[in-house]
Structure 1
Amino acid sequence: MTVPPRSFTAVVNPTAGGSASARTLMPLARLLREAGAELAVEYSRGLEHATALAREAAAAGRAVLGVGGDGMVGCVGGALAGTDAVFGVVPAGRGNDFARQLGLPTDPAGIAEVLLHGEPRAVDVIEANGVPVLGSVYAGVDAVANDNANHSRLRGRASYTAGALRAVLTWKPADYVVTVDGERYRRRGFTVVAANSGYYGFGRHIVPHARVDDGLLDVLIVKHGPKRLFFQVMRELSDGSHLNRPQVEVLRGREVRIELAAPGRVLPYGADGELPGVLPVTAKVLPGALRILLPRSG
């Protein structure tokens, strides 16, 4: 079935992945326009501005594209959550983990095919302390590594690798209270991840059974052990064997609260590659809250 040409507004992070946004957007724009689609391009000055641009375009009845990495994609998609707007993902950042979870192409021709001929499908969204999040919420050594990477002079995977090394070497185990659908779990360890998408941290498949359309969050806990344990777990993500370790626990639920058992320690939590705040954080799943253009065969 042929889909009529669509009207798009691309909300762009001009700094994502160096010049990756421009390298992706320029040929993509040409392909869309050659196919008869209308495309307007808006460059954001920050996440708040991107949110306003996305909502304005959606109110005008246009499909809204998030162009950039997971932070921009999460911001634009989150702005549209709970509405009838159609969202398109244009992966052009450093991580592109949410696009990876969806199985979306990263080349301009493949992206254009999805945008022109794909169909909107409902996927879940996380509400984390009232803020929409597409991928996952995580609180532990990974959030500290994220913070280190954000302040690194390195780029891409190298920045996260260096940030993770520094975070693990300086890490002191956190005493967590994790409440899943009202049931409390006291755990000491490295991190807690509440996942809608199974990928985070530049392609690391941390929660391989997570799905974006099951109405549930998969909660992975890496419990206390030698510091080398965290590096071993990271190496095992490619084949999912980390799930066989006794120090790795997976829970599932619709609402997850992550907090520290004792006052005095401040620990950040991450969401879609951003660091919106510090613990405690409550993550709730919003089933089918966002309509995303996906391949018809996907």
Structure 2
Amino acid sequence: MYHIIVNPIAGGRRARKNLEIVKRLLAERGVGYNVYETSGAGDAKEIAARLTARDEAGQAAEAALTQTENLRPVPLELVVVGGDGTLHEVLNGISDPSACRLGLIPSGTGNDFAAAANIPLDAEKAAEIILGGAPKETDFLSVGGVRCMNVGGLGMDVDVLVRCKKGRVKGKIKYLLSLFQSLFTFKGYGIELESGGRRETHKALIAVACNGTQIGGGIRICPASVVDDGKIDVMTVECMGKLQILKAFLYLMRGKVLEYAGAEHFLCERVKITPAAPCTVQLDGELYDGLDFDAKIERGLKVYR
């Protein structure tokens, strides 16, 4: 039994089309499913929380629907039809990530985690992976108690997202327009970075903790990142004046930001980034005010990819 959580307006309503493809494939194979549609922000999180709630015996509320012949419960099968934001909500609603198996039909605007996890954008191919494959161990981050599937950070990427929220333009062009605006106005953040024995201060153009490789629908913020290596890829870019910001931007757009002289990259299992003044941070493109950016790697989640 598959429990499908769908954001019907994701990707300019691409999700509705993809849902029909998934339903057809399931029907052809005689596989049972339930569909849960979201109608607003927070719905996907609430649905996932309800489906994975634990009873007094420690079993999931839907365990009765997912039992083997000897009545031993097996992991709950969750499928997300939506984008990075819907996936973020579902991940944060799941009571115990190790007690479910997660499938993704990429249907959003950016689909950045799908790119990092090599999940096809074609809905039929993505569904075939879920129906015919085996889920793989996949890392995620916990940042100040909030789970993050792809990339979390602060700096110019957040400035871009704030502008996106205010703009009227839709789609990927909205992100690019906001990015160009930020290039000429963003002044950098003072931060302190702590990880193991490392303690540094920066005036950061951007500071990110990565599980995935890209943001903004294809901007390769950390091409070296791997979703199942048990490590956080930390990347900072120093803010060194307008000309250098433009140079860093060009490296970023070519997917070669790690080659930029002002970039620093290292691997760890935990990192704390403290801004000099309170600021907004982003996790999977979702904005959080006042969140303690103390990130650690988490394991136990199985994803079809």
**Could you state the TM-score of these two structures normalised by the residue count of structure 2?**
0.87
Q: Percent of aligned pairs with the same residue?
A: 28
User: Secondary structure, in 3 states, of the residue corresponding to 2:162?
Assistant: helix
1:269 positional shift: 0.7
Please give the secondary structure, in 2, of the residue aligned with 1:17: helix
Give the corresponding residue for 1:131. Answer: 146
CA 1:280/1:53 → structure 2, altered by over 3 Å: closer, same or farther?
closer
Deviations 1:86-117 (A, max 9, x none): 10011100110001101111112202211100
- In the other structure, the counterpart of 2:48 is 54
Total equivalences in the alignment: 284
- Cα distance in structure 1, aligned partners of 2:34 and 2:189: 47
* Equivalent residue, structure 2, for 1:37: 31
Contact 2:18 2:123 in 1 (8 A): yes
Q: CA deviation at 1:235?
A: 3.2
**Distance change (3 Å), C-alpha of 1:230 and 1:39:** farther
The answer for the alignment partner of 1:86 in structure 2 is 101
Q: How does 1:1-298 map to 2 (within 5 A)?
A: 7-58=1-52, 59=60, 60=62, 61=66, 62-80=76-94, 82-237=97-252, 240-261=255-276, 265-278=277-290, 280-286=292-298, 288-294=299-305
Deviation string 1:236-289 (CA, Å, 9 cap, x unpaired) is: 34654322221011122111111123xxx4421111111022464111111x23
Letter in 2 for 1:272: D
Larger strand fraction of residues:
1
For residue 234 of structure 1, report the CA deviation from its aligned partner: 3.5
C-alpha distance in structure 2 between counterparts of 1:153 and 1:206, whole Å: 25
The separation in 2 between residues aligned to 1:57 and 1:107, in whole angstroms, is 27
Amino acid at match of 2:81: V
AA aligned to 2:78 is: V
| Residue type at the aligned position of 1:283 | A
SS in 2 for 1:19: helix
Is this contact kept in 1: 2:239–2:245, CA < 8 A? no
Contact map agreement 1:145 1:164 (CA 8 A) in 2: yes
Distance of 1:173 and 1:53 partners within structure 2:
38
Residue 230 of structure 1 and its aligned partner are, at CA, apart by 3.4
Unaligned runs of 5+ in 2: 53-59, 67-75
In structure 1, what residue type is equivalent to 2:136?
Answer: R
Alignment check: 8 A CA contact 2:219 2:255 kept: no
| 1:279/1:230 CA distance change after superposition, 3 Å | farther
| TM score, norm. by length of structure 1 | 0.89
- Secondary structure at 1:106's aligned position in 2? coil
The whole-number CA distance in structure 1 between the counterparts of 2:262 and 2:228 is: 28
